[in-house]
Structure 1
Amino acid sequence: MKTLKLEDHLCFTIYALSRQITCVYRPALDALDLTYPQYLVLVLLWEQDGRSVKELGQRLYLDSGTLTPLLKRLEEKQLLHRQRDQQDERVVNVHLTTAGKALQEKAPTITNALMEKMDLPIDQIIALREQLATLLQSLEA
């Protein structure tokens, strides 16, 4: 049986790519005083404010032990607030504050940093994202 080299592992390439992308994002995120996971929470809330903690966790593939402290830090930064649902107190909804909504105007600098660094046409980037999304979905089943 042939032993696979590190570079033969798809998971390593994806892991290394993820780390590199985060490094490219870091200066723009640092300027906004955000971590990458905090930014992703805000992206979901900019898409639709008032999501439940459970939904955020599902969409971001984060368990509550990781998500709860992350939300707490964003709340301390006064970018969002958590509130129990009035119909079902077991559900906690997350809402953007005015400051959290205003931060959306500065968010394009984050993705622009990556687009400038990548040397790929937009159609290839879209195709790659779609392939990776398909792979992710196949692994969820």
Structure 2
Amino acid sequence: MLLDDQLCFALYAASRAVIARYRPLLDELGLTYPQYLVLLVLWEQDEISVRELGAALQLESSTLSPLLKRLEAHGLLRRERRSDDERSVAIRLTDAGAALRERARAVPLAIGDAMGLTREQDASAKQLLRLLTENVTTR
């Protein structure tokens, strides 16, 4: 069993390299990578429940709650109890959170350039990684 023969190591190394490439871009925005992922979801859908957000990001609420608290402290989102269901918390962008989207538009382009994949390779990689995730989580 050689390290270089392990798919899990290739995934680990790739993930670390990509996240490291994000770091200087996100530092300029005052964000960590997990915070950026939360904002990506909110830029797509301005109001979402904590449960839905956790499902979208595949994160437990114990991991998500501190992220949301920090983003709220930075004035980028609001957490509010839903009037129709007191047990559910809705997450909404603030004006500052919505405005940050414009500054973040260059991030995916820079990361895509750094990856150096063709459109076909990009689509294929995503498809394989989604399949891998599904297989590992359902078996």
Place the TM-score, normalised by the shorter chain, in its bin: over 0.9
Two-structure CA RMSD over aligned residues (Å): 1.0
Query: CA shift at 1:22, angstroms?
Result: 0.6
Equivalent residue, structure 1, for 2:135: 138
Return 5+ residue gaps in structure 1 as ranges: none
Q: Deviations over 1:41-86 (max 9, x none)?
A: 0000111111111111111121111110000000001000000011
Aligned pair 1:117/2:126, yes or no?
no
| TM-score between both structures, scaled by the size of structure 2 | 0.94
| TM-score between both structures, scaled by the size of structure 1 | 0.93
Distance between the aligned counterparts of 1:112 and 1:26, measured in 2?
14
Q: Secondary structure at the match of 1:26?
A: helix
Query: CA shift at 1:6, angstroms?
Result: 1.5
Equivalent residue, structure 2, for 1:75: 72
Q: Secondary structure at the match of 2:80?
A: strand
Distance between the aligned counterparts of 1:43 and 1:67, measured in 2?
14
Return 5+ residue gaps in structure 2 as ranges: none
Equivalent residue, structure 1, for 2:90: 93
Moved more, 21-30 or 8-17: 8-17
Moved over 4 A (4+): none
Give the AA of the match of 2:117: L
Matched positions, count: 138
